[in-house]
């Protein structure tokens, strides 16, 4: 049995045949995405190749201060990108809220994994902290922004209901509870769907990559189970933290709902 498949640059270029097939189909059906696909193909090659060299440098670092600095920078970038997506529904202090929630989620989830599951020594070992930290930050950012978008839409849709509850003396938290619940549920749908179908409908990319590189399937399975549990905890925690802080920004000190404007 071959232990792993070693992909050469020649193999990578051969895979362009698949892109060529996609281009032919798009052109045949007059979809109009030829230029975008070509640009995406070139950019993905350049960006990932560059990232390979960057990661090689990162993995050679062995000092805790460098790893903490790297994680902080990754969190700040994720916070900026997530906040930038909220231009249509501006939220006061959203960058700080999102970044703080991402960092809190990262510390909790990554801390548990490094200390109690993988038992990584030293804890700042780059081959563990960089990929796992990146997965946590990325999934937390995506889910938190989805939850925020849905929450802002819920506030628009339920505005009269919320204002009526407030006028009857309901606390702000109780008035927005249904909106928060709907928003978190919507943001968690992709993760829950993945948990329901993993191993039956599809094999995750991480698990497939491990198997292709020669890792025992059962070891790859155990890693994937841990990652799925990590994802659902990450997304749920980030969503709840963000919305718990966001809704407070949208009400006055007299428990009045501020005007929520959606920019076109």
68, 199: one domain: yes
What is the average pLDDT value for the chain, to the nearest integer? 91
191, 139: one domain: yes
102, 131: one domain: yes
Does the residue 156 lie in any domain?
yes
Does the residue 77 lie in any domain?
yes
Residues in the chain, how many? 264
41, 158: one domain: no
Higher pLDDT, 202 or 168: 168
- Rounded Cα gap, residues 124 and 28, in angstroms: 51
34, 145: one domain: no
Does the residue 111 lie in any domain?
yes
C-alpha atoms less than 13 angstroms from C-alpha of 130 in its C-beta half-sphere = 19
Residue 1 has pLDDT above 50, yes or no: no
Average pLDDT over residues 183-210: 87
Average pLDDT over residues 97-102: 98
79, 163: one domain: yes
Average pLDDT over residues 178-199: 93
Question: 10 Å Cβ neighbour count for 94?
Answer: 22
**What whole-number percentage of the chain has pLDDT above 90?**
76
Does the residue 38 lie in any domain?
yes
pLDDT at res. 147: 96
Average pLDDT over residues 218-239: 94
214, 89: one domain: yes
Average pLDDT over residues 152-161: 92
Does the residue 137 lie in any domain?
yes
129, 44: one domain: no
Average pLDDT over residues 147-172: 93
158, 218: one domain: yes
Please give the tally of structural domains in the chain.
2
Average pLDDT over residues 218-241: 94
pLDDT in tens, 8-38: 899 999 999 999 999 999 999 999 999 999 9
133, 71: one domain: yes
DSSP secondary structure, 181-210, as one string: HHHHHHHHHHHHHHHHHBTTTB--HHHHHH
pLDDT at res. 205: 77
Name the least confident of 118-122, 204-208, 218-222: 204-208
Q: Containing domain of residue 142, as a range? A: 63-249
Does the residue 1 lie in any domain?
no
Residue 10, SS3 per DSSP: helix
DSSP 8-state symbol, 114: I
200 — pLDDT class (breaks 50, 70, 90): confident
Handedness of CA 73, 79, 85, 90 (dihedral sign): negative
pLDDT in tens, 66-99: 999 999 999 999 999 999 888 667 899 999 999 9
Does the residue 140 lie in any domain?
yes
pLDDT at res. 210: 80
Average pLDDT over residues 43-54: 94
21, 74: one domain: no
pLDDT at res. 89: 73
Average pLDDT over residues 108-114: 95
Does the residue 254 lie in any domain?
no
175, 50: one domain: no
């Amino acid at each position: 049995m071959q232990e792993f498949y070693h992909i050469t640059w020649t193999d990578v270029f051969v895979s362009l045949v698949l892109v060529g097939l996609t281009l032919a189909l798009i052109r045949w059906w007059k979809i109009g995405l030829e230029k975008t696909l070509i640009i995406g193909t070139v950019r993905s090659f350049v960006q990932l190749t560059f990232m390979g060299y960057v990661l090689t440098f990162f993995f050679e670092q062995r000092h805790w201060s460098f790893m903490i600095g790297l994680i902080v920078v990754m969190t700040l970038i994720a916070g900026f990108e997530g906040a930038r997506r909220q231009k249509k529904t501006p939220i006061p202090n959203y960058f700080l809220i999102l970044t703080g929630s991402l960092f809190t989620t990262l510390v909790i989830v990554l801390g548990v994994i490094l200390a109690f599951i993988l038992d990584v020594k030293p804890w700042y070992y780059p081959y563990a902290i960089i990929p796992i930290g990146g997965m946590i930050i990325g999934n937390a950012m995506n889910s938190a922004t989805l939850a925020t978008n849905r929450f802002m839409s819920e506030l628009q849709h339920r505005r009269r209901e919320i204002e009526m509850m407030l006028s009857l003396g309901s606390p702000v938290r109780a008035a927005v509870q249904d909106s928060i619940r709907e928003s978190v549920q919507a943001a968690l749908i992709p993760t829950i769907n993945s948990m329901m179908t993993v191993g039956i409908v599809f094999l995750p990319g991480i698990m497939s990559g491990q198997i292709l590189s020669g890792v025992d399937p059962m070891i790859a399975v155990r890693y994937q189970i841990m990652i799925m549990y990590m994802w659902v905890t990450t997304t749920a925690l980030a969503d709840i933290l963000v919305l718990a802080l966001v809704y407070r920004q949208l009400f006055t000190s007299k428990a009045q709902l501020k005007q929520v404007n959606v920019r076109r």
